Amino acid sequence: MTEPIIQVKDVTFAYNAETPNPITALRNVSLDIMPGDYLAIVGHNGSGKSTLAKHFNALLQPTEGDVFVKGLNTKQIDNTLAIRSTVGMVFQNPDNQIVATVVEEDVAFGPENLGVPPNELRERVDWALRLTSLTDVRKRAPHLLSGGQKQRVAIAGVLAMKTAVVVFDEATAYLDPVGRDDVLDVARDMNSRGLTVITITHFMHEVLDANRVIVMEGGQIVMQGTPQEIFCRIDELRELQLDVPQTTDLASRLSKRVPGIRGNLLTVEETAEAILGAARARKGAVT
């Protein structure tokens, strides 16, 4: 049987745990992430998503419970390098993630720190730049690039580390729709190559690519399932102050008025098909 690549076991985490005013950000969270998963994490601001993500690569250690990455406990300091070589993170603001003054040097920075030898380093940087369509701008200064390009530089840096898992923590938040699609394309492509992708997002249509969704609230996992299973629980999602994709919203409204339309349609294609089907059926009934 396949082992989980990340295992979160009954984790509770408090910021300022040692002070009189601890802030509990995770409560008894358990979660198995399997190799090749495309996991989406949603939940409104402050629900604990980033805190959980930071446990995946030992940026934070549990106050109670354990996190294992490929079986390695994140609490043991001597596991940190192996863990960071397994789980890469892309954060919200590309400007905070860029460290070098030339794109290709920035992409080389992460793997260099993992001790990748020069020849292999060059190959990895070329490969990562190709995958993120940045080869043409490799000699440019990152701060002169567009937001979407900068975020792709950050992603290329993580790709070049060849981690088995990549976590996107609201990595599309500051981007325009085109930049967002660029990042999503890269994430999809990475997942289709067998990488484990974990995406934290506010944009519900981005969740549709995932094979699994978890919904967080108050530091706990309150719902989990496939996008299909999650998005048909529209009323519960609204109570958690979460949106549903526009197509799902439309389908849900239509399903209450038009016989034959299901309430849990996810894509534009499915919804269009259902509307056409219902229209045909109606026409048939009249004539």
Q: Quick one: 48 or 179, whose CB is closer to Mg ion?
A: 48
User: Shortest gap between Cβ of 30 and ligand ADP (angstroms)?
Assistant: 17
CA distance 39 to 227: 10
Query: Does residue 79 belong to the site contacting Mg ion (CB under 5 A)?
Result: no
CA distance 57 to 8: 12
Number of DSSP helices (H) and strands (E) in the chain, helices first: 11, 10
Q: Which does 46 bind (CB under 5 to 8 A by kind): Mg ion, ligand ADP, none?
A: ligand ADP
Q: Which does 15 bind (CB under 5 to 8 A by kind): Mg ion, ligand ADP, none?
A: ligand ADP
Query: Does residue 151 belong to the site contacting ligand ADP (CB under 6 A)?
Result: no
CA distance 199 to 191: 11
Pick one of 7, 38, 47, 186: the residue that binds ligand ADP (CB under 6 A): 47
Pick one of 5, 29, 37, 50: the residue that binds ligand ADP (CB under 6 A): 50
User: Shortest gap between Cβ of 50 and Mg ion (angstroms)?
Assistant: 3
Q: Which does 180 bind (CB under 5 to 8 A by kind): ligand ADP, Mg ion, none?
A: none
Q: Which of 271, 280, 268, 236 is nearest to 252 (CA)?
A: 271
Pick one of 47, 50, 163, 196: the residue that binds Mg ion (CB under 5 A): 50
User: Shortest gap between Cβ of 16 and ligand ADP (angstroms)?
Assistant: 6
Query: Does residue 218 belong to the site contacting ligand ADP (CB under 6 A)?
Result: no
SS in 3 state form for 34-81?
CCCCEEEEECCCCCCHHHHHHHHCCCCCCCEEEEEECCEECCCHHHHH
Q: What angle do CA 266, 269, 274 make, to 5 degrees?
A: 80
Query: Does residue 149 belong to the site contacting ligand ADP (CB under 6 A)?
Result: no
Classify burial at 64, counting beta carbons within 10 Å of its beta carbon; exposed 0-12, middle 13-18, buried 19 or more: middle
Which residues of this protein are in contact with ligand ADP, per CB under 6 A? 15, 23, 25, 43, 45-51
